[in-house]
Amino acid sequence: MGRVRSYLIAGNWKMHTLRAEAVDLARRVAEHARSVPAVRVMVAPPFPWLLPVAEALAGSPVALGAQDVHWERKGAYTGAVSPEMLKDAGCEYVIVGHSERRQYFGETDETVFRKLQAAISVGLRPVLCVGETLDQRQAGWTLKVIRRQLWGALEGLTPPAAFTIAYEPVWAIGTGVPAHPEQAQEVHAFIRAEVARIWNASVGLHVLYGGSVTPDNVEGFLRAPDVDGALVGGASLKAEAFCTILDIAQNLSAGRSG
Ligand code: 13P
């Protein structure tokens, strides 16, 4: 499995921000991103702010992402947004299979698979989210759950040249209780090995950690050998916190080159 050495730091704004806040946040991240050239940066605002945020990011190195996508190209799917619409709005990335989508919106491994296929077919870069619940971890099922999510989502997909997976333990999301970097490292190494088994092809794979990432704890994750970046929720809504995370990734980048 190909190794991607540059960090990707992504902000998932979830269902937060009104337009003015979104544009202000995007402008500040865009401005700061110029000083962290070794780090790839992405922000995923709510759907209605994709266009104004795209405008705010124009000319900056920050990539735009969406938080979800439908699997069909078009049709009678009230409330849904197609992959081509996201491309047209300026998105490069799309988050697929976030645990909140799985928990509150009935997302399954089957719909995740179809969304990934649809996103890849129009040239979007998906960020596939996987992760176990607290009950599953306590029962010792973590790797089994991750394996099932990976095979369900990826088996049968034509391997893309580059792909991103975010390991987000459900118990660490929005709780202020992050995983220990060693727990992340164990799962990340497993994800890498499992993706190699599923696809048996050379894919530039970024494996991100997500779940209560802050400026205070991100360094521990980024130092883990199989952690290629972070998917940040709450801390991505504060420009200062998110930019500090970018600075930390930039400072650690030198150690990862080669
Ligand atoms: P928090 O960083 O708020 O825990 O959210 C993580 C997440 O779900 C990012 O997708």
Angle (CA) 208-210-212 rounded to 5° is 150
pLDDT beyond 70 at 257 = no
**pLDDT at residue number 159:** 93
Q: What is the DSSP letter of 257?
A: -
- Please, how many CA atoms are within 13 Å of residue 212, restricted to the half-sphere of its CB? 15
pLDDT (tens digit per residue) in 53-104:
999 999 999 999 999 999 999 999 999 999 999 999 999 999 999 999 999 9
**Residue minimizing CA distance to atom 7 of ligand 1:** 233
Tokens of 210: 């997500």
> Given pLDDT bands bounded at 50, 70 and 90, which one contains residue 4?
low
User: 51 near 89, Cβ under 8 Å?
Assistant: yes
pLDDT grade for 256, boundaries at 50, 70 and 90: confident
Predicted confidence (pLDDT) per residue in 122-145, tens digit = 999 999 999 999 999 999 999 999
1-124: what fold? TIM Barrel (3.20.20)
Residues 168, 188, 194, 206: which is the catalytic one? 168
Q: Is 251 strand, coil or helix? A: helix
pLDDT at 176: 95
In this prediction, residue 202 carries a pLDDT of 84
Q: Are 109 and 148 in contact (CB under 8 A)?
A: yes
Q: Is the Cβ atom of 178 under 6 angstroms away from ligand 1?
A: no
Q: Does residue 32 have an active-site annotation?
A: no
**Span from the CA of 100 to the centroid of ligand 1 (angstroms):** 10
Q: Do the Cβ atoms of 84 and 122 come closer than 8 Å?
A: yes
**Token digits for 67?**
């938080």
- How far is residue 253's CA from residue 223's CA, in Å, rounded to a whole number? 10
- Percent of the chain having pLDDT more than 70? 98
Q: Is the distance from CB of 94 to CB of 83 less than 8 angstroms?
A: yes
Cα diameter, the chain? 50
Mean pLDDT of the chain: 96
What does the DSSP assignment read for 59-117? TSSPEEEES---SSSSSS-TT---HHHHHHTT-SEEEES-HHHHHHS---HHHHHHHHH
Tell me what pLDDT residue 75 has.
Answer: 97
